[in-house]
Structure 1
Amino acid sequence: MTSGRPTVLLVDDETRVLESLTRALDEDFQVITAESAEQGLDVLAAEFVQVVLCDQRMPGMSGVEFLSRVREGWPEVVRIIISGYSDPDDMLEAINRAGIYQFIHKPWRPENLLLTVQRAAEMQQLQSENELLNLELRAGVSELRRQVAGKRERVQRRELSDDRILRCADSPMAGVCQLADKVAQYDIPVLITGETGTGKELMARGIHYKSPRRDKPFVVENCAALPEELLESELFGHKRGAFTGAYQDRVGLFQQADGGTIFLDEIGETSPGFQVKLLRVLQEGEVRPVGGASPIRTDVRVLSATNRNLWCTVQQGSFREDLYYRLSAFALHMPPLRDRREDIPLLANHLLQEIAATMGEWVEGFTDEAMACLVRYHWPGNVRQLQNEIMRMVALGDGERLGVELLSDVVQVALETPPRDEAPILNGAAVPGERAMTLQGATGRGTLKERLTELEVDMIGQALRRHRWNKSRVAEELGLSRVGLRNKLKRYGLDGEGTS
């Protein structure tokens, strides 16, 4: 197959699953499907594939066995496995035998699946480019040093550029960036908060490359991606034989980042047991590999991020207060895109040029009507959603300017939502469900139970608007547990998107 898009091979014995996966990926990738591991191997022998995505439970050859064969025959292909199980032994076997890039747990969400495969394809492309560079660098040690120094300089120049986080002079993001520039110079922990897609990792990279540690490693770990046992091994390392599947010693990310910075994303998702171990590392400045007899000194600056209200989780008892203070010596909050609408034209035009160049297209810009719609939309997925929307528009467009007709149904439906007095707006999005209309207050008609229900919906709706859909704060104000609030939102059809 010939296509400017990366090629993804989907392997699953269920036709409906293959169809769902294809729908989620076919706009961005050239998709090939196979209904068995054997068919998948035949495809790999005949086609150039960048990413393989397969199910773990298949008749005949399992997903791990299939990906092990892929690793042997096509080691450059990035391997991803989908599983409804999260047994640590199975995961370790997949990591050691098949060298998988990522686990995707069932049930998966289309946007998360697409993001994972996009990153896998980008990594495969970078690996290919790196191999070509390695061939060129065999000229000698001096040439190698020169090119490595040049790469480091280019990376630092890119990360130090103000264009990395685009904003207007009067944008709420401008003040955040000024604070980040100040704190970057001091070797203290920083906690970055904000909704998904607001650029927390980008901010962390900017802090690292503006700090005295800029010449040392910057290491990233998503704490929500692995169970506690694997996360501890990933960060602190392990000794051979420490657990089933530990066939050799592993150097943890804290050791790899020695002298540099480690970025712990989704820190609020960690378990209490892991929090105790991380607190000790921060207090003592040393890590103890799993199964190791003695600690190892490390010099690492810790940056962390979460999309939760971490202080609320402390009050609820699910996050340690002493660890919270250790991580949040300095806190930065990334405003959501709906609160910095003045930045949207600048961001949209910049993303358009990057995306068009990547896709090999030439686009002059947006029509005035399309740009007005982009500015009006509430962007619950923030910059990441804006990027994907523009990517879709470029793929569908065939003119010099992208028009409003190219916007996705999600955006167009939201823009056509009636005003606040007809459908109340919570966190920038229309309240879903027919019960939304009762938020105007109790009607004064019906049985006592019906009128009490309307009053309860009205109170919850007002609290949601007041706290911008922050469910932790709403639950605290109404005297409910988070589980109790979640059940009521589901019962009354108010379970929309928002900040946890």
Structure 2
Amino acid sequence: MLTLLVVDDERSICEMLEVALRGRGHQVEIATSEAEGRHKLEGRLFDVIICDINLRGVRGDVSGIELLASAREISPDVLFVLMTGNEQLGETIIRALNLGADRYIVKSDKLVEELEQVVRRAEDYLRVRRERDVLRREIRRLSVDNFIGQSTAMRAIFEMVAAVADTPSTILITGESGTGKELVARAIHMHSGRADESFVSINCGAFPETLLESELFGYVKGAFTGAEQNKVGLFQAANGGTLFLDEIGEMSLAMQVKLLRVLQERQVRPLGSTAEVTVDVRVIAATNKDLVALVEEKKFREDLYYRISVIPVQVPPLRERREDIPLLALHFLRQHNEQMGKTLRGIEEKALACLASYAWPGNVRELENAIERAVALETTDRITIRSLPEKVSQVVLPSASKAALLPPSGVDLERQLAELERSYLEAALQKARELKEQGERNGGIRQIAAELVGLSYRSFRHLAKKHGL
């Protein structure tokens, strides 16, 4: 059953269509002027409007068109059907279709039959559209299905996503590798008005400068050797949607200048072209680096930093939200159970304690890999400590029975802790140098050292400075 509005300045036609369409089980209201039709449209939601194109308005205009314009403002999703008694109104009909009319029919002795057919098709269309909307809502829910947490830090992230999703501002997401920065970006996109358009992502650190430029901006045939046909860049591919620039801290200074220009002017110029292409893209950038430090070191442009960090979002490492580990572990267990066709029922208590106590330098990505491995190897009905990676299963669990021995004279706890902290930092730096020299780890020595002791680069740098290292 649909809700219909019939508008015609001939009351007899309105009443004839009202009787016919009510007989098909639909709710029908009628109006005999453009003003009355607009008034009813403002007071109720209609599925379909059937309106005479020659309905005259107070200004003598073709006010069927006026009502169409009002309908598109008041109720953009309503289906609008125009009736005309004059097949010669070609230009007017074209104008109406361009303004958003869904179809038109010519008044004839078969008007009722034709309108009944139109309404049946409208029922089918609206049913499909509602099913599509349900599917889109489900996709939006699933798009953040891995974005799980009940910790204070994650609740703050959820609130931030809801608050910034519908703003046009550029967003900078920071956090260690594996924390789920792309999931945050996807969540922002899927909760925004751009959700029906493309979400396009690129890892800026995975491409050399020249290739990154052609990926982002595209090129025209003959722009360089091997450019045998035009290629649309990612800015154009994401037009109307969101472009996610992951690892933006890896971008060269020369490339940063070109990106800044696009963000300022909202136009791209494909390689080899002299024409500018206007783009409407919401840019979300992400990095695991300290961009403020890179700005100080002249490795990242300060003007670009302020352009991309209008809204900063910090994703916490997993070790700072340990209460989320059981939730994530069980989620990944269910996920990989289904993928592998297994029926594990849970995680034994000791294994869960190991998961909760491990530092997870690789964050959520490392946790998922550990659970996937455990699901694949486990032969019982639960994940046990035996199926966890060795570095996780051998973690030292906290024990209430292991109380520290206090000498009779007491201790200077602050000094003892400071010395212990300094010794760990020194050991981490030494180990990082060895790993770097042996080619076993990539990145800066302080970054490697920070990972070895389970700290963010920023926290490690602060502590190292405090101890004069």
- TM-score (ref. length: structure 2): 0.60
2:378 to 397, 420, 425: 397
CA gap 1:268/1:372 in 2 versus in 1, 3 angstroms: same
CA gap 1:316/1:152 in 2 versus in 1, 3 angstroms: farther
Map residues 38-49 of structure 1 onto 2, 5 A cutoff: none
1:358 to 339, 355, 358: 339
CA gap 1:433/1:240 in 2 versus in 1, 3 angstroms: closer
Q: Is 2:155 aligned against 1:174?
A: yes
Q: Which moved more, 1:399-408 or 1:283-292?
A: 399-408
- Whether the aligned pair in 2 keeps the contact of 1:159 and 1:205 (CA below 8 Å) is no
Q: Is 2:292 aligned against 1:311?
A: yes
Give the Cα separation in 2 of the matches to 1:258 and 1:433: 45
- Shift of residue 469, structure 1, vs aligned partner: 4.5
Look up the equivalent residue of 2:300 and give its one-letter code.
Answer: F
Identity of aligned residues (%): 44
- Shift of residue 342, structure 1, vs aligned partner: 0.4
- Shift of residue 150, structure 1, vs aligned partner: 5.8
Give the Cα separation in 1 of the matches to 2:154 and 2:383: 27
- Shift of residue 413, structure 1, vs aligned partner: 4.0
- Shift of residue 380, structure 1, vs aligned partner: 0.5
Give the Cα separation in 2 of the matches to 1:240 and 1:290: 9
- 1:93 paired residue number: none
- Shift of residue 474, structure 1, vs aligned partner: 5.0
* Deviation >2 Å, runs of 4+: 143-164, 412-426, 428-436, 464-480
- 1:165 paired residue number: 147
Give the Cα separation in 1 of the matches to 2:210 and 2:127: 41
- Secondary structure of the residue aligned to 2:361 is coil
Look up the equivalent residue of 1:320 and give its one-letter code.
Answer: R
- 2:329 paired residue number: 348
- 1:473 paired residue number: 461
- Secondary structure of the residue aligned to 2:205 is coil
Give the Cα separation in 1 of the matches to 2:379 and 2:312: 45
Alignment RMSD = 3.8
Q: Is 2:270 aligned against 1:292?
A: no
Q: Is 2:366 aligned against 1:378?
A: no
Give the Cα separation in 2 of the matches to 1:202 and 1:284: 28
- 2:219 paired residue number: 238
- Shift of residue 434, structure 1, vs aligned partner: 8.6
- Shift of residue 297, structure 1, vs aligned partner: 0.5
- Whether the aligned pair in 1 keeps the contact of 2:220 and 2:273 (CA below 8 Å) is yes
Q: Is 2:200 aligned against 1:212?
A: no
CA gap 1:392/1:238 in 2 versus in 1, 3 angstroms: same
CA gap 1:230/1:165 in 2 versus in 1, 3 angstroms: same
- Whether the aligned pair in 2 keeps the contact of 1:417 and 1:430 (CA below 8 Å) is no
Q: Is 2:231 aligned against 1:250?
A: yes
Give the Cα separation in 1 of the matches to 2:387 and 2:453: 31
CA gap 1:159/1:152 in 2 versus in 1, 3 angstroms: same
Give the Cα separation in 1 of the matches to 2:215 and 2:431: 46
- Shift of residue 156, structure 1, vs aligned partner: 4.3
- Whether the aligned pair in 1 keeps the contact of 2:189 and 2:195 (CA below 8 Å) is yes
Unaligned runs of 5+ in 2: 1-123, 405-415, 433-448
- Secondary structure of the residue aligned to 1:470 is helix
- Whether the aligned pair in 2 keeps the contact of 1:184 and 1:211 (CA below 8 Å) is yes
Give the Cα separation in 2 of the matches to 1:342 and 1:237: 45
- Whether the aligned pair in 1 keeps the contact of 2:357 and 2:395 (CA below 8 Å) is no
- Shift of residue 214, structure 1, vs aligned partner: 1.0
- Shift of residue 409, structure 1, vs aligned partner: 1.5
- 1:201 paired residue number: 182
1:203-260 CA distances to partner (integer Å, 9 max, x unpaired)? 1000011111111111111101111111110110001111121111100011111111
- Shift of residue 165, structure 1, vs aligned partner: 1.5
- Whether the aligned pair in 1 keeps the contact of 2:177 and 2:363 (CA below 8 Å) is yes
- TM-score (ref. length: structure 1): 0.56
Give the Cα separation in 2 of the matches to 1:415 and 1:400: 25
- Whether the aligned pair in 2 keeps the contact of 1:187 and 1:301 (CA below 8 Å) is yes
Map residues 432-447 of structure 1 onto 2, 5 A cutoff: none
- Secondary structure of the residue aligned to 1:224 is helix
CA gap 1:156/1:239 in 2 versus in 1, 3 angstroms: farther
- Whether the aligned pair in 1 keeps the contact of 2:245 and 2:286 (CA below 8 Å) is yes
Corresponding pairs, count: 313
Give the Cα separation in 1 of the matches to 2:128 and 2:421: 54
Look up the equivalent residue of 2:256 and give its one-letter code.
Answer: Q
Give the Cα separation in 1 of the matches to 2:362 and 2:348: 23
Map residues 53-72 of structure 1 onto 2, 5 A cutoff: none
- Whether the aligned pair in 2 keeps the contact of 1:171 and 1:343 (CA below 8 Å) is no
- Whether the aligned pair in 2 keeps the contact of 1:240 and 1:246 (CA below 8 Å) is yes
Give the Cα separation in 2 of the matches to 1:399 and 1:465: 34
Look up the equivalent residue of 2:295 and give its one-letter code.
Answer: V
- Shift of residue 180, structure 1, vs aligned partner: 1.6
1:301 to 238, 260, 282: 282
- Whether the aligned pair in 1 keeps the contact of 2:329 and 2:367 (CA below 8 Å) is yes
- Whether the aligned pair in 1 keeps the contact of 2:242 and 2:282 (CA below 8 Å) is yes
1:12-48 CA distances to partner (integer Å, 9 max, x unpaired)? xxxxxxxxxxxxxxxxxxxxxxxxxxxxxxxxxxxxx
- Whether the aligned pair in 2 keeps the contact of 1:379 and 1:386 (CA below 8 Å) is yes
- Whether the aligned pair in 1 keeps the contact of 2:360 and 2:454 (CA below 8 Å) is no
Higher-Rg member (1/2): 2
Q: Which moved more, 1:339-348 or 1:470-479?
A: 470-479
1:400-448 CA distances to partner (integer Å, 9 max, x unpaired)? 111111111222344479999899679x999559989xxxxxxxxxxxx
- Shift of residue 475, structure 1, vs aligned partner: 10
